[in-house]
């Protein structure tokens, strides 16, 4: 399918439902990022409230029992740490934001959602702060319009949940470059799966290039833009802001040059090494800047 070039404005999905609890970095940093965007940190970007994900959508990516437990509080706690109506509203919003970002990218070339906590959620379980896998939902939604979709996961940790849901799907290509083996998964098809855990910062960008090469030919790209790869946000010593900027530019240019619609999710990024939440949000702003370039 031939789609349009990037058109302005860049529309990103976010609502106050996303940021539910200031104790949870995974879902509270989005509010700071939204405030920076609204204040003009990246001129011209529009924030749009998504529709909540529906039960029918969740059943496309998770088992009936798991969905029932998530929706009713049967789990007592979600992967984010506890169960509450507000937290449920948050994850339904951040999952819906991924679906709406797909529609927007088909219209205008690129979009994103200030969603975090997606890629460790598997068919039957949540873990690692991830309850619902909005990346997987976005892939299935995009496949309603194109023949092959790619998911590029550059979070510090591996996307084992996404692989659990989608690695048998022959219309989905998974490319996962991490710097930590948490939630590692085993590729089952060399033609569709690229998996690499990098332990030296000097090799990181080269591996990102290889991952993009492995995605050659996909007609839609979903980018899990984790900032926890950064040396001070939970990642690998030597992965600096300059490397992160280079990475974001590479990914966006790859999509632009090929006229492939692209969306992003925020994914990980933490205060573990002494960053403030504002500094974590500023790292994520690099993704927004690259998408708006
Ligand atoms: Zn992570």
Domain boundaries, the chain: 11-291
pLDDT attached to residue 269 = 86
Q: What is the mean pLDDT of residues 113-128?
A: 95
CATH class of the structural domain 11-291: alpha beta
pLDDT attached to residue 24 = 62
What separation in Å is there between the alpha carbon of 150 and the centre of ligand 1?
19
What separation in Å is there between the alpha carbon of 54 and the centre of ligand 1?
26
What separation in Å is there between the alpha carbon of 239 and the centre of ligand 1?
14
What separation in Å is there between the alpha carbon of 245 and the centre of ligand 1?
18
What separation in Å is there between the alpha carbon of 110 and the centre of ligand 1?
23
pLDDT attached to residue 163 = 98
What span, in angstroms and rounded, lies between the C-alpha atoms of 61 and 74? 19
What separation in Å is there between the alpha carbon of 272 and the centre of ligand 1?
12
pLDDT band at 6 (very low <50, low <70, confident <90, very high): confident
What's the number of CA atoms in the CB half-sphere (13 Å) around residue 71? 15
- Give per-residue pLDDT as tens, 140-158: 999 999 999 999 999 999 9
pLDDT attached to residue 76 = 65
**Cα of 68 vs its chain's centroid, Å:** 24
What separation in Å is there between the alpha carbon of 156 and the centre of ligand 1?
5
What separation in Å is there between the alpha carbon of 1 and the centre of ligand 1?
32
What separation in Å is there between the alpha carbon of 228 and the centre of ligand 1?
6
pLDDT attached to residue 26 = 61
What span, in angstroms and rounded, lies between the C-alpha atoms of 93 and 131? 12
What span, in angstroms and rounded, lies between the C-alpha atoms of 86 and 57? 19
pLDDT higher than threshold 90 for residue 98? yes
Residues 6+ apart with CB under 8 A from 105: 111, 220, 261, 262, 263
Looking at every residue in the chain, the average pLDDT score rounds to: 93
pLDDT attached to residue 4 = 44
What separation in Å is there between the alpha carbon of 134 and the centre of ligand 1?
15
pLDDT attached to residue 83 = 83
What separation in Å is there between the alpha carbon of 281 and the centre of ligand 1?
15
Angle at the Cα of 17 (from 13 to 19), degrees rounded to 5?
90
pLDDT attached to residue 159 = 98
pLDDT attached to residue 21 = 67
What separation in Å is there between the alpha carbon of 157 and the centre of ligand 1?
4
What separation in Å is there between the alpha carbon of 127 and the centre of ligand 1?
11
pLDDT higher than threshold 80 for residue 107? yes
What separation in Å is there between the alpha carbon of 180 and the centre of ligand 1?
9
What separation in Å is there between the alpha carbon of 166 and the centre of ligand 1?
19
What separation in Å is there between the alpha carbon of 131 and the centre of ligand 1?
14
What separation in Å is there between the alpha carbon of 177 and the centre of ligand 1?
11
Contact status, residue 198 vs residue 237, Cβ threshold 8 Å: no
What separation in Å is there between the alpha carbon of 129 and the centre of ligand 1?
9
User: Which residue has better confidence, 204 or 78?
Assistant: 204
- Give per-residue pLDDT as tens, 213-232: 999 999 999 999 999 999 98
- Give per-residue pLDDT as tens, 250-259: 999 999 999 9
Strands 220-224 and 149-153: parallel
Q: Which two tokens stand for residue 202?
A: 């000097």
What separation in Å is there between the alpha carbon of 161 and the centre of ligand 1?
12
Strands 110-113 and 11-13: parallel
Q: What is the mean pLDDT of residues 93-98?
A: 98
What separation in Å is there between the alpha carbon of 155 and the centre of ligand 1?
5
What separation in Å is there between the alpha carbon of 241 and the centre of ligand 1?
17
- Give per-residue pLDDT as tens, 7-45: 779 999 999 999 876 556 666 789 999 999 999 999 999
- Give per-residue pLDDT as tens, 39-89: 999 999 999 999 999 999 999 999 999 999 999 987 766 776 778 888 899
């Amino acid at each position: 399918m031939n789609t349009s070039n990037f058109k302005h404005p860049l529309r990103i999905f976010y609502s106050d439902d996303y940021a539910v609890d200031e104790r949870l970095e995974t879902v509270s940093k989005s509010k700071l990022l939204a405030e920076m965007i609204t204040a003009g940190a990246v001129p011209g970007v529009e924030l749009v409230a998504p529709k909540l994900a529906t039960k029918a959508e969740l059943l496309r990516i998770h088992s009936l029992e798991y969905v029932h437990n998530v929706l009713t509080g049967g789990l007592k706690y979600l992967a984010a740490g506890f169960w509450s109506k507000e937290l449920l509203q948050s994850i339904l919003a951040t999952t819906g934001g991924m679906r709406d970002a797909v529609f927007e990218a088909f219209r205008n070339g690129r979009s994103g959602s200030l969603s975090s906590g997606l890629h460790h959620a598997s068919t039957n379980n949540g873990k690692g702060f991830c309850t619902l896998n909005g990346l997987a939902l976005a892939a299935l939604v995009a496949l309603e319009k194109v023949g092959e979709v790619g998911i590029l996961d550059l979070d510090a940790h591996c996307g084992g949940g996404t692989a659990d849901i989608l690695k048998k799907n022959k219309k989905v290509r998974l490319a996962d470059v991490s710097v930590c083996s948490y939630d590692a998964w085993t590729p089952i098809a060399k033609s569709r799966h690229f998996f690499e855990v990098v332990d030296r910062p000097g090799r990181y960008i080269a591996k990102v290039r290889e991952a993009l090469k492995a995605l050659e030919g996909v007609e839609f790209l979903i980018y899990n833009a984790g900032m926890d790869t950064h040396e001070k946000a939970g990642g690998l010593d030597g992965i600096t802001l300059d490397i992160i900027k280079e990475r974001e530019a590479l990914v966006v240019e790859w999509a632009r040059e090929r006229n492939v619609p692209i969306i992003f999710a925020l994914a990980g990024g933490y205060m573990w090494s002494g960053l403030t939440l504002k500094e974590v949000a500023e790292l994520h702003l690099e993704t927004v800047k690259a998408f708006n370039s």
